[in-house]
Amino acid sequence: MKQYEFGIVGLGVMGRNLLLNIADHGYAVAGLDLDQGKVDALANEATEKQDVKGTTSDKEFVEMLKTPRAILLLVPAGKPVDSAIAGLVPLLAEGDIIIDGGNSYFPDTDRRIKELDEEGLHFFGMGISGGEKGARFGPSMMPGGDQDAYKRLQPIFESVAAKVNGEPCVTYLGSGSAGNYVKMVHNGIEYGIMQLISEVYDIMKRGLGFDDTKLQQTFAQWNETELQSFLIEITGIVLNKKDDETGRPLINIVSDVARAKGTGKWTSQNAMDLQAPIPVIDAAVAMRDLSKYKEERVEASKKLTWDGSEGSIDLDHIKHGYYFAMLTIYAQGLEQLAIADKAYNYGLNLADIAKIWRGGCIIRATCLEDFMQAYVKNPSLPNIMLDNKIGKDLLNRQEAIRAVVKYAAGKGIPASAFMSALSYFDAYRSEKLPTNLVQAQRDYFGAHTYERTDKQGTFHTQWD
């Protein structure tokens, strides 16, 4: 039987596209799916030049693969991953490798690594970003697991990943669940930036009165500036789409009840466990939750009214305010990674993470080049806002974001991402915070003690 270099379980759109991408680069690839229709779709999409084989049989699939076998799971997170693993394990041999390419919660990855290690198998958690198009033509990939086993995967992953300046947007990130953890924080940053862009859209539409054409043109123009990024780019494309049925801009008839798959929530929950402050990402998660209370919002819009105060801003204020807030979102996510690295002993390299996020992934943006250089220059940098260049970028734009926040508050336009970003910046740059009062209050009602600024030790006071 012919031996295939790599296998993929799950031949949905993502699985098929990534499999065909690998085949494009000269590798013989096998695919497994229990749905014969998806196996047939793979056969129909493959070209004569591609060495591709699909099957619905676990046994046939495993027997087709060259040893040590390398198998990528592209199935929904949770029980489907465990089910796929359970079906494969009895057929595999010591030294074989299973890679989970879904958005699995990182503690699940740690559990699976331990369970499969007892079977003599290697398990990787690998975040994949870029969507369907990225999978087909070059994603950003974030693998973590056994470093020696990664050598089997490295040539394949580097050949199919997106390239920036000839450099592949994939690298070994660290041990254990490092790959899934980095992807989780990537998605948290994604939540924050998407919320921020939606607020920009709202301020320009409701506040400045921009029509649909001017809104679309503004985002398209911004994508030619330092704001260039995938999310700004697709915003211009989305705003330009007309509804096939009505001919109206489709965005105006899309429901404002937002959905989520949980990765943003996981980012916020874990950040609280680590005591890593990420207020803009937290706000983005909360706003998606708030959007679901549509009936209450409709009633509140009639009862809790505000006529709006006078105020003015221009497009430059919004543009530079957005850039300021966007930088703080990346700063929060990257600092969470730095804190998690110490807590979980991943061995993360933040310069490498910024490097592989420059292309292929959803949060790719021009500013990531600056982040990479900042970490190359100072690998122990605790927060990118302390880098001289990035700090200067923030200082040069803080007047703009203060104007945006003031304007939104005066108009009654919700801008939680903008407001959280500015508050985070002001808190981070404050030599003294009012939390000394919090400590005193805690000691008053709970005898929780406090520290003093003039001498060492912990203290308790009978305040009354």
Annotated catalytic residue: which of 5, 38, 53, 183? 183
What is the value of pTM for the model shown?
0.95
131 is in an annotated binding site: yes
**Catalytic status, residue 190:** yes
Q: What is the Cα–Cα distance from 196 to 417, expressed in whole angstroms?
A: 5
In the block, residue with structure tokens 């591709």: 52
Architecture of domain 433-463: Up-down Bundle (1.20)
CATH of span 183-429? 1.10.1040.10
Q: pLDDT at residue 1 above 80?
A: no
**Helix residue spans in 250-314 (DSSP H):** 263-274, 279-291, 294-303
For 42-63, what is the mean pLDDT?
92
Task: Judge whether 375 and 365 are in contact, CB under 8 Å.
Answer: no
Per-residue model confidence (pLDDT) at position 259: 85
Residue 192, beta-bridge partner list: none
pLDDT, tens only, 346-357: 999 999 999 999
Average pLDDT, the chain: 95
Q: Which position has the higher pLDDT, 321 or 48?
A: 321
130 is in an annotated binding site: yes
112 is in an annotated binding site: no
Q: pLDDT at residue 319 above 90?
A: yes
For 447-461, what is the mean pLDDT?
96
Per-residue model confidence (pLDDT) at position 310: 81
Range with the lowest mean pLDDT among 102-106, 326-330, 349-353? 102-106
Confidence of residue 273 (pLDDT cuts 50, 70, 90): very high
pLDDT, tens only, 207-227: 999 999 999 999 999 999 999
Considering only CA atoms, which of 239, 242, 234, 195 is closest in space to residue 214?
Answer: 239
Domains 6-172 and 433-463 share a fold: no
In the block, residue with structure tokens 């695919």: 31
288 is in an annotated binding site: yes
Q: pLDDT at residue 297 above 80?
A: yes
Annotated catalytic residue: which of 38, 53, 190, 265? 190
Confidence of residue 309 (pLDDT cuts 50, 70, 90): confident
Confidence of residue 311 (pLDDT cuts 50, 70, 90): confident
Indicate the residue type of 33: D
**DSSP category for residue 239:** H
SS3 269: helix
For 250-272, what is the mean pLDDT?
93
For 374-384, what is the mean pLDDT?
96
Confidence of residue 202 (pLDDT cuts 50, 70, 90): very high
Q: What is the Cα–Cα distance from 403 to 398, expressed in whole angstroms?
A: 9
Per-residue model confidence (pLDDT) at position 331: 98
Q: What is the Cα–Cα distance from 204 to 218, expressed in whole angstroms?
A: 10
Pairing of strands 122-129, 140-144: antiparallel
103 is in an annotated binding site: yes
Considering only CA atoms, which of 119, 162, 116, 110 is closest in space to residue 141?
Answer: 162
Per-residue model confidence (pLDDT) at position 47: 87
For 336-346, what is the mean pLDDT?
97
**Catalytic status, residue 406:** no
Confidence of residue 246 (pLDDT cuts 50, 70, 90): very high
For 415-423, what is the mean pLDDT?
98
460 is in an annotated binding site: no
Range with the lowest mean pLDDT among 132-136, 372-376, 426-430? 132-136
Architecture of domain 6-172: 3-Layer(aba) Sandwich (3.40)
φ, ψ for residue 279, nearest 5 deg: -60, -30
**Percent over 90 (pLDDT), the chain:** 95
Domain spans of the chain, in order of start: 6-172, 183-429, 433-463
396 is in an annotated binding site: no
Task: Judge whether 70 and 97 are in contact, CB under 8 Å.
Answer: yes
For 60-84, what is the mean pLDDT?
95
